[in-house]
Amino acid sequence: MSGPVVAVVVKGYPRLSETFIAKEILGLEKRGLDLRLFSLRFPTDRHVHPVHAEIRAPVLYLPEYLHQEPLRVLRAWARARRLAGYRRARRVFLADLRRDSTRNRARRFGQALVLAAEMPEEIGIVYAHFLHTPASAARYAALMRGLPFAVSAHAKDIWTTPGWELSEKLGDAAFAVTCTGLGHAHLASLAPKDRVDLIYHGLDLAEWPAPPDRGGRAGPVEIVSVGRAVEKKGFPDLIAALAKLPAAPAWRFTHIGGGPLLPEMKRQAEAAGIADRIAWKGQQPKTKVLAAYRAADIFALASRIAGDGDRDGLPNVLMEAQSQGLACVATRVSAIPELIEDGTTGMLVEPGDVGALAEALGRLIADADLRRRLGTAGHDRLRTRFDQEPELDRLATKLRAAAASR
């Protein structure tokens, strides 16, 4: 296998909610990069995506909590403190700790000690997914080992990490990439010139079949949404909008995903008198998600900005739905307008505007021709602008160049 050996640091692996990371890993392997995965946490999902079975890279799990593996951490500290970059990494960590004096910060340094001590000698670059905790461990370890450090930023990590921390990490990084134009503009304002690049995750279009023919379908109009039941996904807004829809034309709604707000959403549907129109499917593997897309007529996602600033980037589920020719209704949050142009490739409403969301859904339920037009236009734009293959080529080139500059 040609190309540099890359240490990829992730928060958890494998994770069904982060299949975009797994697809990127597989795509980089196919481009000749030799990867080693380092995870800050053990897996917890009941299901995994088929892509995980294709990945060849070995996974090393760092101590999730330092007190669980104290001897391993002590051995790593004994080795790491002899590394040429240890003192600089320690200075950076202590400066961070003064501004963020939390156990979580100390844990990242302990994980970095293990990462630096146990990384193979042939590693040429340390690459982290997410600018918050994974980038902290990766940055400290890269400093200890004298390696270049790169990072991929996504959504929550951009908007909930303090500005001072973003700026300093970006200053140390060989490069950073992010998957939305909005995120790129924010990070570029905090980083040295040309340090941050926009690389969309896109979709592996070869994995997704052609859209089904939805003509001549009988029965209720099928609405589907896929996503974790957490604040930033706005599912309570979607349930409230569904409750405003007239009884006719008939509709049904399917939700796929787990999450802490599920019980509250079910109570909300019961109170609104629409529980009998809703199917709660929980977390599902890709095959069943695909089947749900193909059986549906409309895809809905009511993303909003959470109280702590967390928000979506460019949700993969919207691209997946468009790959199946679904008319999509979503909100003007983060990078969603980069994918969906209101009235042309889908419908957009303001986040939290339940009335507008209900109106958009009502229009689509009542108008099969509008659903077909928006679904076709969304599918065509997806194929021309959000194909992941050229984006992965760009990322592989950046990793090779940064590793070569060591």
Average pLDDT over the chain reads: 95
For residues 194 and 307, membership in a common domain is answered with no
For residues 197 and 217, membership in a common domain is answered with no
For residues 217 and 365, membership in a common domain is answered with yes
| pLDDT tens, position by position, 20-76 | 899 999 999 999 999 999 999 998 877 777 889 999 999 999 999 999 999 999 999
For residues 185 and 268, membership in a common domain is answered with no
What is the reported pLDDT for 2? Answer: 60
For residues 269 and 326, membership in a common domain is answered with yes
For residues 225 and 372, membership in a common domain is answered with yes
| pLDDT tens, position by position, 77-89 | 999 999 999 999 9
Cβ-based neighbour number of residue 205 at 10 Å: 14
| pLDDT tens, position by position, 104-154 | 999 999 999 999 999 999 999 999 999 999 999 999 999 999 999 999 999
Cβ-based neighbour number of residue 207 at 10 Å: 14
The answer to whether residue 352 scores a pLDDT higher than 60 is: yes
184-204 b/e with 16+ CB inside 10 Å = b? bebbbebbeeebbebbbbbbb
Q: What is the DSSP string of 185-215?
A: HHHHTTSSTT-EEE----B-GGGSPPPP--T
For residues 77 and 131, membership in a common domain is answered with yes
For residues 182 and 312, membership in a common domain is answered with no
CATH number at residue 235: 3.40.50.2000
Per DSSP bridges, beta strands 251-256 and 221-226 are parallel
Domain count, the chain: 2
For residues 185 and 281, membership in a common domain is answered with no
For residues 178 and 132, membership in a common domain is answered with yes
For residues 189 and 214, membership in a common domain is answered with no
The answer to whether residue 1 scores a pLDDT higher than 70 is: no
Per the structure, the complete domain to which residue 146 belongs is given by 5-202+387-404
| pLDDT tens, position by position, 362-381 | 999 999 999 999 999 999 99
The answer to whether residue 258 scores a pLDDT higher than 50 is: yes
Helix axes 235-243, 354-366, angle to 10 degrees: 60
For residues 223 and 258, membership in a common domain is answered with yes
